[in-house]
Amino acid sequence: MNQPQAASIKDLPDFAAIRADFPILEQQVHGCPLAYLDSAASAQRPRQVIDAIADYYRHDHANVHRGVHTLSQRATEAYEGARESVRRFINAASSKEIIFTRGTTEAINLVAQAFARTTLKPGDEILITWMEHHSNIVPWQMVCEQTGAVLRVAPINDRGELELDAWKKLLGKKTRVAAFGHISNALGTINPVHELCAEARRRGIATVIDGAQALPHIDVDVRSIDCDFYAFSGHKMYGPTGIGVLYGREEMLQDMPPWQGGGEMILAVDFEKTVYNELPHKFEAGTPNIAGAIGLGAAVAYLENIGMEQIAAHGYELMRLASEALLAVPGLRLIGTAEHKTALVSFVVDGVHPHDLGTIADHHGVAIRTGHHCAMPVMQRFGLPATARASFGIYNTEAEIDQLVAAVRDAKEVLG
C-alpha cells in the first residue's frame, strides 16, 4: 500500500522556490490571490516544463524517426529521451513498454480495443469498481457491446473504499480483465493495487490500472505493482495536455494487434500486406505529440528532483489539514473518508448547491471543481447530484486552505 505519511508543508525542500516555479499562480482573481485547488482536473506547469517546450520549438523541431538531417535527429533523440525518462520514473523494464498516447482516456481505450476486443468472447467478464472515472467505465461498456462480454462492478462502502471481499468474489472463472483506479478522482481513495494485481495474477486475469490521479502524488513502480497495463496523463503531473502514457507488459503488447493504422507504425507496406513496426512504435500511428512528450519528460525530471516521497507527504498533509478545517463548518459533510486517501477533499454543504459554492469560491479567488467529476456512479452511490472538490498540488499552501474555508463559510452564510 502506497499510503503517504503526514509531514509539515515546510518539509518540502525549498517550498517557496517550488511555488515560484509556477508563474500562473502569481495572479489575482476577482481581486484576491489565486488559490488554485483544482489540480486533479489539471495541474499547472512549472517554468521548467514551459521552457523545455519553448526551447524545443525554438531550436530543435522537426518530425521524428523520419529524417537523416540534424533537426530530425535532435527531435528524435529528445522524444525517445522522454520515453526513457518515463520508463525510469515508473520503473518499467523496457522503453518498449512505454506507449505515448493523448492521455489516460486514450490509453485505456487502446487496451480495450487492441487487447480486450480482440480476445474476449461472449459471456467473458470484465470487472471494474463503483468508484471509476467514466474513462474506466465507458471503454469497457463499448467492448462488451462489441464482443458480448459482460461488465461486472465491485461495490464500495460508505467511506468510499473498495469492498475487497466482494471484489475477490466477483473474480470468477469467466473474468478476463480487472480494471481499477489507483486513486479515485472523486473520493481520494487509494486502492490496494498490489493486492488486487496479485489476486488477479493468481487467476490469470489481465489487470488495467487507471493511474491518472496517482502519478502526481505517489511513487508508482509498475514492476512492484505487477500490473499488465497502467495508464496516466501528462497534464495532471505538471506536464502538457494532449500527452499521456500507456505502460503495458512487453509480452502483452507483443501479442496485441495495432489499433490504428498509418505512418510510423509500419516497417513495410504494399497492397497485399503490411508489416507492422516494433514496439512501441506499433501503437503510435502518425506524427506523435513530440513537444508534449518532451514537456512530459521535463515534468518527470521536475518531480524526481523534488522527490516523490516528499511530494506524497505534502499532498497527504494538505488533505488532512483541509479535512479538519472543513469539518468545523456547520452542515459540511466530507464525501470519501477512506483510511487510505490523499490529495483531495470532496464535500457537500447543507442548503448550498455545489455549483453555487464553486461560483462564490471563485469570487474569493479559490478555484475548485464542482459537479460529478466524470464519476456519475460515485454520485449515485452517495445519493448526490454533485460535490465540491478541492484538490491539491505541490504548490499549495495552508493559507490557501484558510482561503477555501473562508469562501465555504461565506457561501453558507449567503445561501445556507
Q: Which residues bind ligand C6P (CB under 6 A)?
A: 40-41, 103-105, 133, 135, 181, 185, 210, 212-213, 233, 369, 373-374
For residue 384, the minimal CB distance to ligand C6P (Å) is: 16
Q: Of 328, 300, 362, 375, give the one whose Cα is nearest residue 40.
A: 375
Catalytic residue among 32, 144, 227, 374: 374
Q: Long-range contacts: 219-223, Cβ < 8 Å, 24+? A: 219/2, 219/308, 219/309, 219/312, 220/2, 220/89, 220/90, 220/182, 221/90, 221/91, 222/90, 222/91, 222/92, 222/247, 223/91, 223/92, 223/93
Q: Are 157 and 163 in contact (CB under 8 A)?
A: yes
For residue 2, the minimal CB distance to ligand C6P (Å) is: 15
| 144 classed as catalytic | no
For residues 76 and 83, what is the distance between their CA atoms, to the nearest angstrom?
A: 11
Please list, in sequence order, all residues whose beta carbon lies within 8 angstroms of the beta carbon of residue 123, skipping any fewer than 6 positions away: 148, 149, 150, 174
For residues 25 and 30, what is the distance between their CA atoms, to the nearest angstrom?
A: 14
Closest residue to ligand C6P in the complex (CB): 185
For residue 251, the minimal CB distance to ligand C6P (Å) is: 25
By C-beta, is 105 or 277 nearer to ligand C6P? Answer: 105
SS3 369: strand
Q: What backbone torsions phi and psi does residue 334 show, to the nearest 5 degrees? A: -80, 140
Cell of 211: 493511474
For residue 254, the minimal CB distance to ligand C6P (Å) is: 25
For residue 209, the minimal CB distance to ligand C6P (Å) is: 10
What are the percentages of helix, strand and coil residues in the chain, rounded to 5? 45, 20, 35
- What residues are annotated to the active site? 374
